[in-house]
Amino acid sequence: MPSRRIEDLHPELRVLHPRWVAACEAAGVMVLTTCTYRSQAEQDALYAQGRTKPGRKVTWTRSSRHSETINGYPAASAWDFVPLVSGKAAWSANDPAWRIAGEAAEALGLEWGGRWAAGKRDMPHIQMRR
DSSP label at residue 70: E
Residue 1 lies inside a defined structural domain of this protein: no
Residue 38 lies inside a defined structural domain of this protein: yes
125 or 70, which is more confident: 125
Q: Could you report the per-residue pLDDT of 58-71, keeping only the tens digit for each?
A: 887 888 888 877 77
User: Residue 12: which CATH number?
Assistant: 3.30.1380.10
Give 76's Cβ-side CA count (13 Å radius): 27
Residue 43 lies inside a defined structural domain of this protein: yes
Residue 97 lies inside a defined structural domain of this protein: yes
Residue 48 lies inside a defined structural domain of this protein: yes
**What domain range includes position 72?**
6-127
Domains of the chain: total: 1
In sign, the C-alpha dihedral spanning 56, 105, 22, 25 is: negative
From the list 62, 44, 53, 65, the residue with the least C-alpha distance to 110 is 65
Residue 103 lies inside a defined structural domain of this protein: yes
Output the pLDDT for position 79: 97
Residue 76 lies inside a defined structural domain of this protein: yes
Q: Specify the pTM.
A: 0.89
